[in-house]
Structure formats: C-alpha cells, structure tokens
Amino acid sequence: MVRPHRDVRRRRRTLLVLASLALAGCTGAPEPAPGVAPSEPVTPSPSPSPERSGGTPPSEVAPAGDPLDVVTGLTNPWSLVFLEGTPIVSERNSGRVLELLDDGTAREVGAVAGLDPGVAEGGLLGLALDGQGRLYAFSTGQDGNRIQRFTLRGRPGSLALGAPETVLDAIPAGRRHNGGRIAFGPDGMLYAGVGDNGTPDVAQDTASLAGKILRMTPDGDVPADNPFPDSYVYSYGHRNVQGLAWSADGTMFASEFGQDTWDELNIITPGGNYGWPVAEGTSDGEFVDPVQQWEPAEASPSGIAVVGDTIFVANLRGEVLRSVPVPDPSRSEEHYAGAVGRLRAVAEGPDGRLWLVTGNTGSFYGTPRAGDDRVVTVGLAPR
C-alpha cells in the first residue's frame, strides 16, 4: 500500500475531529411501496437535504496540482462516500465495504452478501449516506438489483457493517447496464439510476423500473409528489445512468453511457423522457436533449460531483477528468488525461480536495497499472 501524502494525512486527522461534532439527523417513512402506474407527471416540491457538502460557495473551480495516492491495491472500487471525514469505498466484485485509514491502508468494514456472480456489470455498486450515518448500497442479488440500508457500528477506524434492511428490491437486473449510482437529493429523497439491462425498449415503458432514474423516501416509499402517481419513476428513456449530482440551485445533473454514438450529460426534470432507444444524443426537441454529448471512445462518463459552480465528470474509456461550468454546461475542459487511467467515481472531500476512484481492474475493459486500483486526490483552486 502507498501511504498518503503528509498534507493529506494531516487534513484528514483534523477533519475527523471536526466532522464528528457535526453529524445531523434525518427521518424517513415506513415500508417500501411496490408498483408502477404511468400517469401525467406532476412537479415535486423541494425540501432540505440530509446530505449536502456545506463549505463551497457557488463559484467555478478547477483541479490544481498532481494526483496524490491515498490508497492503492484495491480491486474494482466503484463508489466513494465520507462518514465523519472517513472515506468509505465499495468494491464491485468482492462486495466489500472498505474504510480508508490514515496510514494509507484499506480496512474491511463488512461485505454485502448474496451477490449474483453471473452478472458481468453488476455487483456492489453505488453507496450513499443519510444524515444519521446509515449506509445505503445498490447491489445485484440473485433476484435482481436491490437497495439495502446498513447501520455502521463503532467509530472510524473500527467500523462494522450492521444487518441489511431492504429499502427497495426486485429492481430489474441484467448481465449489463445495471446503472447503480445512488444519491440523496436536495429534497431529502433517495435517487437511483437503473440501466436498461441490455433490453432497450424497456426504457420507454414507464411500468418498468429499468432504464430510469428512480426517486424514493429514505425508507423506500413512493413520494406523494413523484411525477407519476404510485411510481418510483422520476425520469425515463435512459440507457445506463452512471452519475447523479445537484448544483446549489437544486438543478439535477446525470451522466449516461451511450451505445455507439453519444454519451450524455443531462439536466433531469421530473417526468422527462430522455429518448433512449429512439434517440441517442440530441433529438431536435422530440425528447429532452442532453446539455453536452461526447463520443463514447473519448468519454464513458461515470460518477459526477458538483463543487461550487463546476460539475466534475469521471470518464472511463476517455481516462480523463472533465470539468463543466454549471452556468454553461455545454462547455467542458479536460484534466489529467491518461494520468491514472480509467476514472470510475469523483467526490468532493471534506478536506476541500477532489477525490478520484480509478477503475482499471476487475473487468476486461481496463488495463491495470502497478498499484491499481487506487484512490487519489487533487487540489482545487478558484478559476
């Protein structure tokens, strides 16, 4: 394992103390409600979020300095969240949940059981934390994709994964295109990207949860103000959503894998139809058009994060970090092209730095380098 840079270690020790004083509460509702019934969309009303990064004012920022290793030797890490300043990472194939320690090592918190080993693009995927420090995980089980919630016992450095609680199960699964990114929005609701499972036509069927972005309460109920009554479906016509994030004004952005023509960055509106499989990329207004699109060989946009007025997009095939200004999301700039290989996830750390997760191992797509996979950080500076 590679030890983190001294400045990274010092910032993390300070933040562990500060963040332990700041963990807030969050309330949820009862049991999950099944069923999807299409109808005319209505517009949800926002409410405060349990999970927002507090310190960055809405101004454009840019990466600064070379990437610094935090930890190496991971196998196909997929998602990254922070609990009281401590980074927590999912490993897709092993199902392990890891906490990254101050000495540059990764410690197993626990493993998500019952993964389906036959699903090539499934496994343990997205993670999210609510305001009570409970961990939500999207994974591929024997009976489909599911979202589970776990209590994290103990303190950072000695965390343990509690028993799973089902938030939502029987989400359609396939060998590929499972989506898997989850995040809490500024309305306190949990959002999940679900791919089309390799069956494109289901993306246009609002009675199916595949090829959609879903919205639910923290306990898995259908919110009363969802765009389709009694349905988890928030938007549809998606091929394979990989990143979810919100700007300070509440605008929702999502990154999406295309097929052969265009990858997309979209602004998500409730009830919106994003065109797949009828359209890939812009559609001359027939569907909701992306605000930016890239050729898949140059992009494959995965996780995204909004820091101030900048959207950061981690790219797999393109092996690049892109920055997109929130005020004009039709523009983008490339950073660190090829420096650490394929980028799976990006997050703003509580230390004010940008944290990147690589995706070079654990699949036939990547070419591992010495020490892969790794988590790295880079500095941020005003633009």
- Domain coordinates of the chain in residue numbers? 44-59+74-351
Write down the pLDDT at residue 46. 36
**What is the average pLDDT across 43-48?**
36
What proportion of the chain, given as a percentage, has pLDDT over 70? 85
Identify the band that residue 118 occupies on the pLDDT scale cut at 50, 70 and 90: confident
Span 135-144, average pLDDT:
97
Cβ-in-10-Å burial (0-12, 13-18, 19+) of 105 comes to middle
pLDDT score recorded for residue 56: 54
pLDDT of residue 363: 72
Choice among 35-39, 172-176, 203-207, 308-312 with the minimum mean pLDDT: 35-39
Average pLDDT over residues 74-91: 97
Select 44-59+74-351's CATH number: 2.40.30.60, 3.30.1300.30, 1.10.3720.10, 2.120.10.30: 2.120.10.30
Q: What is the pLDDT of residue 39?
A: 38
Integer Cα distance of 19 and 138 in angstroms: 25
Question: Half-sphere exposure (CA, 13 Å, Cβ side) for 151?
Answer: 4
| pLDDT tier for residue 57 given thresholds of 50, 70 and 90 | low
pLDDT tops 70 at residue 26: no
pLDDT at 294 over 90: yes
Q: What is the pLDDT of residue 161?
A: 98
Return d(Cα 156, Cα 85) in angstroms, integer: 9
The residue written with tokens 């303190």 in the block is 155
DSSP designation for 221: P
**Cα dihedral 276/278/279/280 (nearest 10):** 50
DSSP-assigned letters across all residues of 327-376:
T-TT--EEESTTTSS-EEEEEE-TTSSEEEEE--SSSSS----TT-S-EE
Q: Which pLDDT does position 55 carry in this prediction?
A: 52
Query: What is the pLDDT averaged over residues 345-355?
Result: 97
CA distance 110 to 99: 10
Distance, in Å, from the CA atom of 58 to the CA atom of 147, rounded to the nearest integer, reads 31
Total residue count of the chain as it appears in this document:
383
What pLDDT was estimated at residue 148?
A: 98
- Rounded to the nearest integer, the mean pLDDT of the chain is 88
Query: Which SS3 state, helix, strand or coil, does residue 133 take?
Result: coil
Say if residue 358's pLDDT is above 60.
yes
**For residues 31-49, average pLDDT:** 36
The Cα–Cα gap between 312 and 283 comes to 25
Q: Give residue 285's pLDDT.
A: 87
Residue 10's contacts (CB-CB under 8 Å, 6 or more residues apart) are none
Asked if residue 359 lies in contact with residue 302, where contact means CB atoms within 8 angstroms, the answer is yes
